[in-house]
Structure 1
Amino acid sequence: MMIRPYTDADEQGWLRCRVLAFLNTAYFDNVLQKKEHYENPSIELVAIENNQIVGLIDIEYETEPQTICTAHDTVGGMIWHIAVHPDYQHRHIGEELIKAALKQAKALKLTYLEAWTRDNAKIQKWYEKMRFVQTYTYHHLYFDEPALEKYDLSVPAQVRPVTMFAHYTGSDPDVLNRASRRHLCMCYVKRII
């Protein structure tokens, strides 16, 4: 297995790897048709085996504090994507991607990495094994049409919302129980320096 920088020629393999890696997770419906390009500098790495992308990590990083990451007064990097193809999981590819990214982050004098994930005990344990610390949580809520009828949504008469996705920072059980689907979204931070 080799880790190297992402190139534009990798896009289809990157997309395939990410879709398959997310398929059986709480992010199963977060499908991209094009790889994101970042406004700020980034660390973008891919893991290659048998001429195939089997892992990836994308970190967009700050040149000024609190411009990408959420809560620190020093510069950090946001892990937007980290994924390992399901046929290659449990072979330490994710760990190797983090190590390679950390090496670059240290050289750039970033002081921490930040990552967000949804409620998945296996992923939470993996971040903790990588020495990330959970710092903040909120909910991702999905509402279908019957649940939406309970809310007064200010939309024109010709618009009929059928589904809705929302970030919820409260703790009211009534709001949480109205959602058709809900996930606890967690922030993990790893100090570098």
Structure 2
Amino acid sequence: MKIRQYKKEDETGWIRCRVLAFLDTAYFDNVLKEKETYENPAIELVSIVDNQIVGLLDIEYELKRKTICSKSTGLGGMIWHIAVHPDFRRKGIASKLLHEAEIIAQRKGLHYFEAWTRDDDWVNDWYNKQGFANVHSYLHVYLETSDEIKRTLVGKFPDLHPIQAFAHFVGDKKEFMKEQFQRVHECICYQKVFTNSRTKMVPEL
């Protein structure tokens, strides 16, 4: 296995790897047709086995604090994409990608990584094992049935009939909301502070 910088010609393989990696997760319908580009500098890594992209990691990072990340002081990097092809899981690929990214990030003067994920237990276990701390969460709420739509959405256009909707719930009654809608995911913010950082990090919740 080889880890290297992403190249433009990797895009098709990058997309395929991400789609397959997400199919059995809470992000199964979060499909991209092309790779994201970033306004700020980014660490973009891929893992290669036999000329196939089997893992990927994209981290957009700050040049000025709190322009991308929100949960700490110092300069942060936001993990926008991390994925491993399902045929290559449990081989330590994600951990190796993260380790390489941490080395690069600290050379660039970053102090921590921030990441958001949903409530897949095995994904959250991975973040915990990698030294990330859970610092915040809210709910992703999908309105997918006619009953959910009718009792939630009130519009001023009588001939416009919503079929689906997506919302953020940032209140305290999370369990109540989970009882009201069929598809609800907890969206969890993780933070990993680099242990050899010279800047003391204090979460700002």
Pick the TM interval, shorter chain.
Answer: over 0.9
Deviations 1:28-61 (CA, angstroms, capped at 9, x unpaired): 0000001000011100000000000000000000
Aligned to 1:16: 16
**Higher mean displacement: 165-174 or 40-49:** 165-174
Q: Secondary structure at the match of 1:91?
A: coil
Q: Secondary structure at the match of 2:110?
A: coil
Q: Which runs of 5+ in 1 are unaligned?
A: none
Asked if 2 retains the 8 angstrom alpha-carbon contact of 1:143 and 1:178, the reply is: no
Residue 191 of structure 1 pairs with residue 185 of structure 2: no
Deviations 1:73-130 (CA, angstroms, capped at 9, x unpaired): 3110000000000000000000100011001100111100001111111111111111
Q: Secondary structure at the match of 1:170?
A: coil
Asked if 2 retains the 8 angstrom alpha-carbon contact of 1:142 and 1:164, the reply is: yes
Aligned 1:94-173 pairs, distance under 5 A: 94-144=94-144, 145-172=146-173, 173=175
Q: Secondary structure at the match of 1:119?
A: coil
**Higher mean displacement: 170-179 or 95-104:** 170-179
Q: Which runs of 5+ in 2 are unaligned?
A: 198-205
Q: Which amino acid aligns with 2:8?
A: D
User: Which stretches of structure 1, 4 residues or more, deviate above 6 A after TM superposition?
Assistant: none
State how far apart, in whole Å, the 2-side matches of 1:98 and 1:105 are.
10
Deviations 1:126-150 (CA, angstroms, capped at 9, x unpaired): 1111100110011111012220100
Aligned to 2:52: 52
Q: Secondary structure at the match of 1:74?
A: coil
Asked if 1 retains the 8 angstrom alpha-carbon contact of 2:113 and 2:192, the reply is: yes
What is the CA-CA distance between 1:174 and the residue it aligns to? Answer: 4.2
Asked if 1 retains the 8 angstrom alpha-carbon contact of 2:71 and 2:135, the reply is: no
**Higher mean displacement: 99-108 or 177-186:** 177-186
State how far apart, in whole Å, the 2-side matches of 1:60 and 1:171 are.
30
Change (3 A) 1:156 1:59: same
Q: TM-score, normalised by structure 2?
A: 0.91
C-alpha RMSD over aligned residues: 1.2
